[in-house]
A and B are shown apart, each in its own frame.
Chain A
């Protein structure tokens, strides 16, 4: 139970980051073929997102051509109904999806993780209160509520992010708490306490290094959830109309009357569809492999 895959983190002086870099090579070699495909997919999308201004000849939100031009020399993937370049929208949309996914996942994963660790370590009323809140949150029908809350709060990226955070911190909190509870009774932690280790020292030196890898896998999962949820909300017409996310592209394309009776869907609907599926499946492949490499215990802890 204790040993884990990162024994060096427990040692005094060994920082998590250093260990991360040391082990990243061995982790990579243990990846399956799907995992490597996933890494390539993510790398591709990251490049597209980072170098969006260089890769696209036109701004994504300016009319630069005729309406619904098919793919060709001037516009790589054609244009949409308003004459905006589809390839530029895909490039800038990658930024939107990644930013939303990462912001939600980092805040929910780290915030929920910290709450869970504290609740598990301190116990008592705070723990009870947190766990009851988590129970209720997990029993709520999240997607219908997401729709309603974003409908009432009005369409804006910040609101979408806030609502997504609200619905995704519960799982990391619960898992971090379970992990902390299981570790708290280990003899080496009790020993550290008896030698005068302050709670802060024990949390930082012993508990955090064990919980972090699990949180990392969860954060990847939440990233994927947030990206799908955002595109789902956008697809329903609840996204930020000024943003050019992939979900908004799907929304505009499918709300175009008689899109399925015209050839337009071939260059207007397919690109965001393929982009989203690539991103989500890549993330899933990576998190599956990481899960197996980093921590075989996750399954029991998470009950997935």
Chain B
């Protein structure tokens, strides 16, 4: 791999990360007021603590808020580097623990959805490319494109209405049956799969068309290449040529797409998890926003952003490994 491209990549990564950290740091500080001048409360019957000016000053200096802004920013960076995201105001435990409880659920559905949409998308793309210029290809393409335009959370609501409300086949909310006693690991896995099915399906359907179109179009481009003609000339059957020669080469852009897909899904997951009340990081972000739990919001944003950036970086590396031509 070229030394220069690697450096630009890393520099870009660091700059983007710094921008996110800066947004995270400065946004709450640009808002009017401070945490110590609360004058009203939403909780009924709660005593509002009014501080004397002296007490207020004490707390402001206790939390280091009287320091110059750049010093606060460096402190903040140091805390982030130590994995210290602060205390969640709503849950009253460290932000890191809140994130660690919920992140696995999101990873589970995003991972399954990525796998599902990639696999199905590739298969459909292959079928469509082989039947190119026939009616079935045109119908499939128009249908999938129309379908892909429905935003994922609206699709989620539709699926929820069909499967949970109308057919009553699947659970409405949650990731596991509450207070369930499992007979064994298999039983537990089944319960989790039962709950994760619709969120995974929604996320996967929203990304399916992208993979499908990419596979189809790359396959069509690849199929006019010389080595495909050579393969046919060697006397190989159509099936082998399509799967071994064409598909293998057409899959390269799909790999890149998968990386971006994970990023898109992170955004979509917030909405989809809200639709299905699935206790992942997206639903946590929503409740943090509703409860104005600023520390938690910032922590989740940072984790999301960093995982998206890492995914992109990783995909770039994988792509270079798979396609030696890129490294030149």
Contacts and interface: CB of A to CB of B under 8 A. Distances in A.
B151 A280 contact: yes
Max chain A Cβ within 10 angstroms of own Cβ: one of B149, B153, B263: B149
A189 B289 CA distance: 53
Interface stretch (B15-23, B80-88, B89-97, B117-125): B15-23
Given A136-B19, A281-B150, A144 B289 contact: no
Contacts of B301: 141, 144-145, 148
A168 to B, nearest CB: 14
A273 to B, nearest CB: 6
Interface stretch (B57-65, B154-162, B193-201): B154-162
Contact of A284 (B30, B149, B289, B305): B149
B27 A149 contact: yes
A139 B146 contact: no
Interface string B20-35: 1001100110110000
Interface in B1-54: 12, 15-16, 19-20, 23-24, 27-28, 30-31
Contact of A228 (B151, B298, B305): B151
A231 B309 CA distance: 26
B268 A143 contact: yes
A160 B164 CA distance: 33
A149 B154 CA distance: 23
A237 B286 contact: yes
Given A139-B16, A228-B151, A280-B149, A235 B27 contact: no
Contact of B304 (A144, A228, A265, A280): A144
Interface string B130-147: 000000000000100110
Contacts of A144: 266-267, 270, 285, 300-301, 304-305
B312 A139 contact: yes
Interface string A172-183: 000000000000
A139 B309 contact: yes
Interface in B251-290: 263, 266-268, 270-271, 274-275, 285-286, 289-290
Interface in A197-252: 224, 228, 231-232, 235-238, 250
B15 A136 contact: yes
A143 B267 contact: yes
B281 to A, nearest CB: 10
B270 A143 contact: yes
B318 interface: no
A144 B286 CA distance: 10
A152 B300 contact: no
B144 to A, nearest CB: 12
A260 B263 contact: no
A7 B300 CA distance: 52
A151 B145 CA distance: 33
B285 A276 contact: no
Contact of A141 (B157, B164, B263, B292): B263
B172 interface: yes
Contact of A34 (B146, B150, B270): B146
A140 B264 CA distance: 11
Given A143-B270, A144-B304, A273-B157, A232 B285 contact: no
Contact of B271 (A236, A270, A280): A236
B151 A236 contact: no
A98 interface: no
B161 A140 contact: no
Given A136-B19, A147-B285, A273-B157, A254 B275 contact: yes
Contacts of A250: 157
B267 A235 contact: no
A40 interface: no
A236 B266 contact: no
Contacts of A34: 142, 146
14 contacts: A136-B15, A140-B20, A141-B305, A144-B266, A144-B267, A144-B270, A148-B27, A148-B297, A151-B297, A236-B289, A260-B164, A277-B154, A284-B145, A284-B149
